[in-house]
Amino acid sequence: MSLLSSLQSQFSIDGVASIVNCSDDFPVIQISNSYADASIALDGGQVLTFQPKLQQPVLWLSKKAIYKPGKSLRGGIPVCWPWFSDHPTEKSFPAHGFARNHRWQLEAIEQQTDQSTLVRLTLPASDATRNLWPQPFELELKVVVGTELSVSLTMTNLSDHPCTMTSALHTYLQVGDIREIVISGLDQTPYMDKVQDFSLFEQQGNVRFSGELDRIYQNTRSDIIIHDGVLKRQLKIAKSGSLSTVLWNPWVNKSAAMNDFEEDGYQHMLCVEAANAADDIIQLQPAQSHCLQTVLSVLDQHA
Ligand code: TA6
């Protein structure tokens, strides 16, 4: 029996959940319940789409995204773990860790009593992951598709010594026009600016975009609201288990240099990432766990 048919017979739920190959050897879970449609790739444990019924897509997914095992897709919610950005000491290791480049295992798809749908995935260790991260670990991703999208990443240290790690739910959001976007929730928050040599600044008022922006906001638990006058909606990004929030838009030149970024795609996307990044390092004792969660919701249709 092929992987796809065995997943389909074990996990599909009539009228709600199915597992399809969205390109050669690229299994994707498709959810459609009373609240929303969503899709999740086993490769990377990556949520690709989330669209509440009768609304516009919440997540941005590049039209030039490459559907290939071992390569993180441009868009949706890549999982960055066990390090965010570059590895702290090994420059040849992949950026943003390895969780986004490996195939996850589907553990369960369940209808909840409120008719939302829970999908549970785990990342198995392999020789390839052990070469990059020898410590035994457990990594679980829970995705709940309802009126909101909730994504929770639980990391557990299964080794016999303390471990440190960083992480992010690198969420690509769909916006009408990046130049018109206003972000609230970060006033007076300190941030590290990657575009200005990692210098430290403090946010004054709302965030607006007029060029490349790549910042790690620090020491913040706040919800973010994206005010989108073009799509006439407000998106709320709530989080827990995170003291850092990353904002990213590559703008013209950086996006043109990426082969999986559609032309002018930067105008319609924005990353808001619930993270443990920079000084927000997670230290786990043996058997200890940490949960990083982001919850996305459309507040209303009038920005
Ligand atoms: O989260 C922001 C960031 O770290 C940027 O610096 C940026 O280059 C980006 O993520 C995308 O990284 P990727 O490795 O997916 O091209």
What is the predicted pLDDT for the residue at 99?
98
Contact criterion met (CB below 8 Å) for 156 and 137: yes
Please provide residue 85's backbone torsions phi and psi, each rounded to the nearest 5 degrees: 65, -140
> In the structure encoding, which two tokens stand for residue 65, read together?
């995204």
Q: What is the overall mean pLDDT for the chain?
A: 96
Residue 5's H or E segment, with its range, is helix 3-11
CA distance 266 to 196: 20
Respond yes or no: is residue 170 known to be catalytic. Answer: yes
Domain ranges of the chain: 3-300
What is the predicted pLDDT for the residue at 82?
98
What is the predicted pLDDT for the residue at 303?
47
Residue 129's H or E segment, with its range, is helix 127-132
What is the predicted pLDDT for the residue at 302?
54
Contact criterion met (CB below 8 Å) for 26 and 67: yes
Respond yes or no: is residue 262 known to be catalytic. Answer: no
- What CATH number labels 3-300? 2.70.98.10
Q: Residue 220 is which amino acid?
A: T
Contact criterion met (CB below 8 Å) for 132 and 93: yes
Task: Write out pLDDT tens, residues 203-214.
Answer: 999 999 999 999
> In the structure encoding, which two tokens stand for residue 169, read together?
């739910």
| Ranges under pLDDT 70 in the chain | 301-303
pTM comes to 0.97
Task: Write out pLDDT tens, residues 278-293.
Answer: 999 999 999 999 999 9
What is the predicted pLDDT for the residue at 95?
95
Question: For ligand 1, atom 9, which residue shows the shortest CA distance?
Answer: 248
CA distance 142 to 149: 10
How remote is the CA of residue 56 from the centroid of ligand 1, in Å?
25
Ligand 1 residue neighbourhood (C-beta within 6 Å): 72, 85, 95-96, 170, 194, 214, 246, 248, 271, 273
